[in-house]
Amino acid sequence: MANLRRKAHEADVTVWVGKGGVDAVVDELDDQLADREVVKVKFLRSSRGGTTTEDLAEELCDAVNADLVETRGNTAVYTR
């Protein structure tokens, strides 16, 4: 797990969740996880509505059948 966190720290954000919500990025995240070991996702203020980043991160995790490495601030890191 420490190795994944190190890779996540070095990775750039490649998926942004905006007002379209989690459903709008499921396919993109799924495609990126097929090509990369870790993918970093940023949850913009417009995506959060009345919920937390952690809740959205878990929802996205379930939607793409991935593992959540960590959440920090408004960013989450996923792997398979």
Kindly report, residue by residue over 23-65, the tens digit of the pLDDT. Answer: 999 999 999 999 999 999 999 999 988 899 999 999 999 999 9
| This model's pTM is above 0.85 | yes
Q: How many domains does the chain have?
A: 1
Give me the pLDDT at residue 67, please. Answer: 96
Give me the pLDDT at residue 31, please. Answer: 97
Q: Taking 90 as the threshold, does the pLDDT of residue 3 lie above it?
A: no
Q: What is the CATH number of the domain that holds 60?
A: 3.30.110.60
- 64 by Cβ neighbours in 10 Å (0-12 / 13-18 / 19+) ranks as buried
Residues whose CB falls within 8 Å of the CB of residue 46, separated by 6 or more in sequence, listed in order: 18, 19
Expressed as residue numbers, the domain containing 57 is 1-79
Tens-place pLDDT, residues 46-57: 998 889 999 999
Residue in 14, 18, 26 with CA at minimum distance from that of residue 44: 18
